[in-house]
Structure 1
Amino acid sequence: MAKETGKKLIAQNRKARHEYHLDDLYEAGIVLSGTEVKSLREGRANLTDGWADIEGGEVWMHGVHIPEYAQGTWTNHSARRKRKLLLHRREIERIEKAVATPGVTLIPLSLYFTDGRAKVEIAVARGKKAWDKRQAIAQRQATREVQAEVGRRVKGMPG
């Protein structure tokens, strides 16, 4: 079998960018069992309820749903077990300092394969307030309207 190259996206937490202000992004490896890898290669995972925590100097990811492998036997994994993330010691220390402040958490943004190895992109994030979300939506819509008007002017159409 040929060795995989490139990046293959498995799952993405699109809601995270709407719900949180993202500060720092990190790429981490994941400790997985064989059936979890096979399930991920089928493109099956859900990050929406996922979060990460630091326990004993190690980073653990909780709440990420990787469904059981269909052809798995009694060795199959449990779908929502906690999984260890692989990061450098300095990165863990930096994350630990950031998460120590109130209102800051660690969330997974995307799960993907890079050159055949499963990786997760995690972010140090602060929760948004309702008015932050409304403000972001209004700003996005205003930018969209300006771009549409510029497009009409370039084409010579009346505004």
Structure 2
Amino acid sequence: DPSHIAGKREYLYEISQKAFDMGMEGLMIESHYNPSLALSDANQQLTPADLSKLLDKLVIRYQYANNPEFENQLELLRNRIDSIDSELLEILASRAEIVRQIGKYKKEHNVTALQINRWSQLMENRIKLGEKLNLSEVLIKTFFQLIHEDSVRMQTEIMNS
């Protein structure tokens, strides 16, 4: 229901296209011959003519391509991603082992699990590196926030055991 998700007609195209890009099979868009006279939700309604224009602009993509060559190439690329994902998990496991060692070391020296200055420095450096590698700042921040939260959790468990 792009009309209610958007709340304003100027966002209807973007949300409708996103819905189709995610495999949705239909849309519910409010239309009124004169949206300003609509008794409810006037700001999210389109005239029938504007609705027709919006629908004409939308690109409907298929979930599957009936093309064996495409499917084979896609499978090869997905296999490469699967391999990289396995490597990522192994690297994360190695990182977690080092985090546990750090937790033990901090416990021995009565140092807090959370080190704000280190965290700030780490994020700044990772964001810069991510930008050089053409990765989005949102991805880098989210990824390292999750890793850091888990690291602090692991260290805290060790320190309190």
Report if TM-score (shorter chain) is over 0.5: no
TM-score (norm 1): 0.30
Higher helix share: 2
TM-score (norm 2): 0.30
Q: Which one has a bigger Cα radius of gyration?
A: 2
